[in-house]
Amino acid sequence: MEFRELTDAEYRGFLDRQDRVYVSQLIEYGDAREGENVNVQRVGLVDDGKVLGAAMINEQPWMKLFKRSIAYFGPSVDFNDIEMATRFMEGLKNWVKRDPRVLSLRVNPYVIRRPYDGLTPGKDTEEARAFEEVMKRTGGAKVKGDYFRDGTSVAASYLYTKDLAGLDYKQAIASTGNNVRAGVRKAASNDIKIEYAEPSDESFKILRDILNHTAERTEMPEVDDIALVRSRRMMELMGPEKFLFPIAILDTKDTLATIDSEIVATESEIAKFEAMAEEGELSKKHANQLKQFQNQHGALLRRREKTLEVQETHGERVVLTASQFIETPTDMIFYHSGGYSDLADYRGIYAVHDAMIKRAIDRGLRWYNLNVIPGSFEEGEPGYGLVDYKSNFHGEVEELVGSYDFAIRPKLAKRLGAIDEE
């Protein structure tokens, strides 16, 4: 066995064999980071030409003269094989130690700590226990920080995903919660269209404006210019088949035409039942149907009035939401998203999710990954809105094992704050 740098073909082939792959493990992510003057290396443990484990290392400048090495959502290795995983981690530590300026190494692999039943945690998985043993053997120390409290210096430990295995599109939508199904139906009734943007100045200005608006009214962090530049570069590298940029559009002219046709249809039904009433032929069942059509008619008139107001304010073509999704070998990942609050009633985001779930199934991906959530599930806690929103997809909480630091040069790392031990 040897620990060495991997070719792109070796690394990509290894990822294609993994059960889970996150965005920050992709070659294109590393190439985009290199555009930010970050040194990125793809390394692994190789035995007779077969890659047994791999990591993409990002070197983060530290206190001007030094560096920290970070494997975001990595490494990828079978921790159930404790002996091999231990050898891998020792190889990784020795690899980064070759640079005398590296003070520490941080890892946070995509290893599930424990399964959840709804929002209730179960027992630790076997792989999590094996991972802890490997950390104990190799000197890894748990990082005490929290993504939602301390920012992106600490990777998220909780995600929310939906397993699509064995489901077709209709079954997948039917298995979601009432809010999601109702949102998909309402978006369809409003004729919401999905357009896929190119990586242009105009499309990223739309995304920036929407993300800033979303940050102002929610607990989401403000837009990070570096992250947007990175996502644009990734989109250019991955292409529109793997990096998707769906924008939900309300065409007010088309929507008004649909509403008007529905108004005519309901008025026809109402007239029919009212004629029956005049003839004394309106049964209780018919009376209930008449009331339903009258309620529907009132709702349509309100929708028409609202849409006319939107048309007057925003024009015929109105952007409701802008989102970014990234396809990995295993997941469709909800990467960035935001929407205008005054247009939320049109349910543009659910038109996006509807299209992306269908695409994930068509592409043979198992996981619809709604991305990070906080680890506190009580109403009123920071970030609870994300938990409430994403749990309506009736997926699963994924609690990962978390981040671990290795002091490569212990005295300097501790003195300069390059490690954060629990």
Per-residue pLDDT, 178: 97
Domain that holds residue 83: 2-157+401-415
214 and 340 assigned to the same domain: yes
Helix 201-217 to helix 225-238 angle (10° resolution) is 140
306 and 330 assigned to the same domain: no
Specify whether the CB–CB gap between 341 and 213 falls below 8 A. yes
Rg (CA), the chain: 26
* CA–CA distance, 377 with 382 (Å, rounded to integer): 9
3-state secondary structure of 138: helix
The answer as to whether 422 is a domain residue is: no
Report strand pairing: 66-71 vs 102-107. Answer: parallel
60 and 205 assigned to the same domain: no
Residue 239 above 90 pLDDT? yes
The answer as to whether 410 is a domain residue is: yes
Query: Confidence class of residue 153 from pLDDT cuts 50, 70 and 90?
Result: low
362 and 229 assigned to the same domain: yes
335 and 387 assigned to the same domain: yes
43 and 124 assigned to the same domain: yes
CATH code of the domain covering residue 241: 3.40.630.30
169 and 231 assigned to the same domain: yes
Query: Confidence class of residue 37 from pLDDT cuts 50, 70 and 90?
Result: confident
> What integer is the mean pLDDT of 214-224?
66
> What integer is the mean pLDDT of 201-228?
80
The answer as to whether 34 is a domain residue is: yes
262 and 355 assigned to the same domain: no
* Residue (of 12, 26, 13, 9) closest to 327 by Cα position: 26
Per-residue pLDDT, 150: 66
Specify whether the CB–CB gap between 405 and 414 falls below 8 A. no
226 and 99 assigned to the same domain: no
Domain count across the chain? 3
* CA–CA distance, 266 with 370 (Å, rounded to integer): 38
Residue 149 above 90 pLDDT? no
Compute the CA torsion angle 309, 310, 314, 317 (nearest 10 deg). Answer: -130
192 and 221 assigned to the same domain: yes
Q: Which residues contact 170 (CB under 8 A, 6 or more apart)?
A: none
3-state secondary structure of 199: coil
Residue 339 above 90 pLDDT? yes
pTM value? Answer: 0.90
Residue 403 CB coordination number (10 Å): 26
Per-residue pLDDT, 383: 79
266 and 366 assigned to the same domain: no
> What integer is the mean pLDDT of 52-81?
95
